[in-house]
Amino acid sequence: MTEKERKGLDRVREIYQDRAHRAKELKAEGKQVMGYLCLYPVLEMLTAVDLAPYRILGDMEEPITKADACLPTVVCPFIRSALDLGLKGKYDFLDGVVMAHICDVGEKTSHIWRTYLNPSYFYFIDTPHTVHKAAQQQLKEQLKDFKKTLESFTGRELSLDKLKQAIKTYNRQRALVRELYDLRKPDPPLISGAETLQVMVALMSIPVDEGIDLLRQVISEVKEGKNGPPKKPARLLVWGSIIDNTALIRMIEELEANVVIDDTCVGSRAYFPNVELTDDPLDGLVYRYLVGLKCPRTFRESVFGETKKDYIKDLESRFGYIKDYAKEWNVNGVILQSVRYCDIHGYEVPGLRDYLDHIGLPNIYLEHDYSEAALAPLRTRAQAFLEVIG
């Protein structure tokens, strides 16, 4: 096995180039691989029944052809791309798929996926919209059922012990991701934003324990600090909808900026929240996946049952963590970005910009089409933004 010979960032690049390679290898060894869409399927439960989770992503470099026949062009191009890959058979190696109610188009795409591709195992988690107690209970009931379906699909028991074990393993991986992100706090950061993104994509393509090993190698390699990025005037936070290709971050980092922290879902959003080990492990999982995950697809009020809305307080409760990131990573500018047609992120933009203005962080919003060619015009905007803050 040659890939085992490569280590650290070399291995990361290898996986990034050919994401499915390891999953296919595992499959050949008799392991079952379970695809999942976005952040809401509970990975700990998959690992606990010995399934290898594999995140379904899009491919910016692949023109969309087949999805044109089942999703209109005026919807999220990322989700269209992911579905397109599915319809083209690129995810045929998956033994099953878990999807969730992320956004409206994500939900509909889940059903379309099942209708057309009919995988041998499929589960749809209907993630509630609010974080209220009743919503948590509703998610928990679904997870109980999810557990049963996993057991009958695999013929293996999803025991409490194994679930607790899996939770610990994932938390360990999350802690290591934080450690890696900590290496971006110095100036210059020890690892670039584009490379970090590659690491995140790699982690989502291999089993969690292998990811832990890989992270350890990457961290010690990065700490040696030989090939880190140069010092640049701007230290940026990038916020927004999914980024699963390095093109955008690379474009920014070719300018006078380092991307030192992100709030996106192939990044901190996926790895920062931990799971608390509760007596019934499902409680901790529910809390983490519903309340802990900070994706704008979830509705939150600053105070449950408030009868008047204080705008700033509302923004503070929704975006306060971004201020914390900005402080910890010593950020002097924020790039908000979203794929076009994403309502979830689109509605957030003016409010988040209000908040960033309020706390004095310069910011800009870039909208793109999830294609590398379409990034070119954004370059001028990004560069001008850097000149403004520089």
Binding site for ligand SF4 (CB under 6 A): 76, 78-79, 102-103, 105-106, 241-242, 297, 339, 342, 344-345
Question: Which amino acid belongs to residue 174?
Answer: R
The Cα–Cα gap between 293 and 125 comes to 15
| From the list another protein, ligand SF4, none, partner contacted by residue 135 (C-beta under 5 to 8 A by kind) | another protein
Whether 121 and 34 have beta carbons less than 8 Å apart is answered as: yes
CB 144 to another protein: min, Å: 8
Segment (H or E) for 125: strand 122-125
Nearest-angstrom CA–CA distance, 198 and 203? 9
Q: Within 117-136, which residues bind another protein (CB under 8 A)?
A: 118, 122-124, 126, 128-130, 132-135
Closer Cβ to another protein, 100 or 259, answer by number = 100
ω before 350 within 30° of 0 (cis)?
no
What H or E segment, with its residue span, contains residue 196? helix 193-203
Closest CA to 196 of 125, 258, 267: 267
* Closer CB to ligand SF4, 221 or 348, in the complex: 348
For another protein, how many residues bind (rule: CB under 8 A)? 72
By the rule CB under 8 A, 230 interacts with another protein: no
Q: Which positions ≥6 away from 229 have C-beta within 8 Å?
A: 188, 189, 191, 192, 253, 258
Instruction: Answer yes or no whether residue 256 interacts with another protein by CB under 8 A.
Output: no
Given ligand SF4, another protein, none, residue 241, with its beta carbon under 5 to 8 Å by kind, binds: ligand SF4
Closer residue to ligand SF4 in complex, CB, 32/338: 338
Contact 127, 10 (CB under 8 A): no
83 scored as a contact of another protein (CB under 8 A)? no
DSSP 289: I
Query: Which of ligand SF4, another protein, none does residue 321 bind (CB under 5 to 8 Å by kind)?
Result: none
Listed ranges 65-73, 156-164, 194-202, 230-238: which one lies at the site for another protein (CB under 8 A): 65-73
143 binds another protein (CB under 8 A): no
Whole-number minimum distance, CB 15 to another protein, in Å?
30
- Binding-site string for another protein from residue 332 to residue 371, where x marks contact by CB under 8 A and - marks none: ------x-xx-xx-xxxxxx-xx----------x-x----
32, 47, 81, 110: residue in contact with another protein (rule CB under 8 A)? 110
101 interacts with, out of ligand SF4, another protein, none, CB within 5 to 8 A per kind:
another protein
The two three-digit tokens of residue 175, written as one number: 């802690």
Q: Note whether 196 and 180 are within 8 A (CB).
A: yes
| Euclidean distance between CA atoms 12 and 9, whole angstroms | 5
Quote the tokens at residue 230. Answer: 């140069």
| Residue 105 beta carbon to ligand SF4: minimum distance, rounded to whole angstroms | 5
Scored b (16 or more CB within 10 A) or e, 121-149 reads: bbbbbebbebbbeebbebbbebbeebbee
Nearer of residues 24 and 347 to another protein, judged by Cβ: 347
- Compute CA 2 distance to the chain's CA centroid, rounded to the nearest angstrom: 28
Q: Considering only residues 18, 159, 299, 327, which one is a binding residue for another protein as defined by CB under 8 A?
A: 299
Please identify, using beta-carbon distances, which residue of 57 and 382 lies nearer to ligand SF4.
57
